[in-house]
Structure 1
Amino acid sequence: MRPAGPVPSIFETLESEVRGYCRGWPTVFDQARGSHLTDEDGHSYLDFFAGAGSLNYGHNNPVLKRALLDYLERDGITHGLDMSTTAKRRFLETFRDLVLAPRGLPYKVMFPGPTGTNAVEAALKLARKVKKRPQVVSFTNGFHGMSLGSLAVTGNARKRDGAGVPLVHTTPMPFDGYPGADAAEPFAFFEQLLTDEGSGLDHPAAAIVETVQGEGGINVARPEWLRALAELCRRHDMLLIVDDIQMGCGRTGGFFSFEEAGIVPDIVTVSKSISGYGLPMSLCLFREELDIWEPGEHNGTFRGNNPAFVSATAALKAYWADGELEKQTRVKGEHLRAGLLAIAAEHPDAIVAVRGRGLAWGMEMREKDAANRVARRAFDHRFLIETSGPQSEVVKLLPPLTVSAEELDEGLRLLARSVRECL
């Protein structure tokens, strides 16, 4: 006889135990449009997760979908490795004309593989190749991916432990605002280590940083801190790598998150929303003089995702030909900030801080498990949010940049209700 109780699903019997998000959102999703997902039972969920920042333009954006369908219907190239294709040419021309040239950014474009960690691995490999030095500096609570090189510059202990091997040739330094760090002279100790022959620090090839640490807890670096880091790297012959995988493509307002600080990194990694449609795609951007790769020296089977080139081109033309999206993101960000501060004011003993930029915001809870309880309760109200921070103590909000004011208000109402019910 079959034992009593529900029959396990195919996800439970066949899929690996490594699955994560589905445990917090126990339903089967079937459709999506804009800021909403719908499960197979017809329930609609407001999505302030946006594919972990991969869907800045919303689910199944109709403009991007039309371009993609037209391309597929005419039998456009789908798999192209690094061959020259019309789809790649259109993307490169559009990216140059709408993103790089208006900002005066002197970058070559490399397609290293389909995901963000591929871009980070390429950036680290290139920096070490150029400087002929293995050491790289990273920052506390940083997150850069799950492959070994990316894990080595990631701060989270649980993620690092999963490597199973020593993670070497990296040195952590305190991120802006890290407890005990000197806000007035944030790099005094770092510079002392660089100049003291007795410090034991091998001279680094590069420093890698996020301007806003997403997985680390929505920790926002001040513009002056980023400028000081860029100047330190310049003085000491180190390359500055900005990981813009989650916070790029307009998430903080400007196309690149470092624009506000007025810096020009040597290397930039981009992924997640660069395809615009949630299709795998990543870029490694770097100054022209750093392009010392030999042909085929760094490659990968899926580094030429042509459907992603098509949707990326459509996204750039639709949203980056003028400054309207950037303006609207800042306005919506202030709207979201005000709503979160109101929730925090209602629970001053439970909520430690509200912080963010653009449409990336976090609300840090004093009790470490409270953020997880809030996220679970939000799901009960058909509202999708996640947590971040080293102990998942931050409620994290990443709505699509195309979210409406009404949807923002709805999300804030659902969040306020979830917080009240949990606290």
Structure 2
Amino acid sequence: MTKSVCLFFQVHQPFRHRRYRFFDIGNDHYYYDDYSNDTIMRKIADKCYLPANKLILDLIDRMEGKFKVAFSITGTALEQFELYAPEVIDSFKKLAKTGCVEFLSETYSHSLSSLKNPGIFKEQIRLHDERIFGLFGQKPRIFRNTEMIYSDEIGAEIAGMGFLGVLTEGAKQVLGWKSPNFLYVNAINPRLKVLMRNFKLSDDIAFRFSNGNWSEHPLTADKFIGWLERLEEKEEVVNLFLSYESLGERQAEESGIFKFLESFVAKVSVNPHLQFATPTQVVEQLQPVSAVHVPEAISWADEERDLTAWLGNNLQKEAFNKLYELGKRMQRCTDADLVKDWNYLQESDHFYYMSTKHSSDGRVNRSENPFDSPYGAFINYMNILSDFKIRLNAVVPENETESEIAILQRIIEEKDEKLKKLEADLRRLQKTGKQKRH
């Protein structure tokens, strides 16, 4: 029996905030650290995105259609590519044209909205999928939530949006004795297929590859394929889901990671027992074995595979709840700058920076944490949120009092403008009078 190898890469970069002080609130509405965003994006583009895309394009060409791969790219990553590394967009467009690359759906700003507000969740997905279609000409059919967060209820929502399948973690607390190497269905709506990540084999590449203390070091393509061949004969699919930064960034080029990928792809492509398949091909070609019950949300983070990396302490919960308290008003907001900042404020990274957990494998930290402490990250975020709320109140007042304040504020601003105009006219007339006297 031929096993399918489903290789998927997650691509995300956040818009990092600058140090935003208390005295900036109400005075300075620009929140971003442009230097860090530019520098980090350029570094990762040069180490990972550009060389990895070049290699994958070359492998697709050499394997004559036998190599298939999938990506999900957040909207914020695409925006940063456009700002700081437009050639990365071009390289993904070349991959899209091969017909061997599938682009999955995501939340636009890598948000946690699926845990809080179904309306905002749907809007995030709509924004993302429009951008993917505009750039790459694909309408995503498979969904991959932020940090692979999934539950039965989230799956049912995704099914209701028309997606064929969803990617998530093959967490032990969910699967128990079952194997992730089969196709499952959502427990509420069985029309939605569920692909479970094989975290052991995925993390052998993503995290342990260059670890000299690992008992299996060095990892070769032959050794890895040997592990795949020794899996139970009846198992049908091996889901290798990785952060793309594993190639060249987390595992440096010097570690041999690119050579490993090249050798692995070449050997799988000629192996009679293995074949590459995209997530859509997996859900269309395989029969599900059963429903998978996930009553509590899981993720691919840390040993616990839960939500505590983002919502594990009171700081994180306070910031998260205060942000989404603004959700209803943002649905009435049409101000383009506010909508942009709203999307960026939802990035899960901001809540990760507030974490008091010490991850043993660094799974969720794909970007440098700019803050010295969780408390510092919290204060910075809440300062920005306070300023954002002031701006939102001026456009979409919270209540009658806020509405009156906003009207008075506009009257004052209009009068200030009139006074400035009158003062300018007065100065002009005084200057003209002096010239006439001379």
Provide TM-score, normalisation by structure 2. 0.32
Structure with bigger strand share is 1
Q: Which has the higher helix share?
A: 2
**Which has the larger Rg?**
2
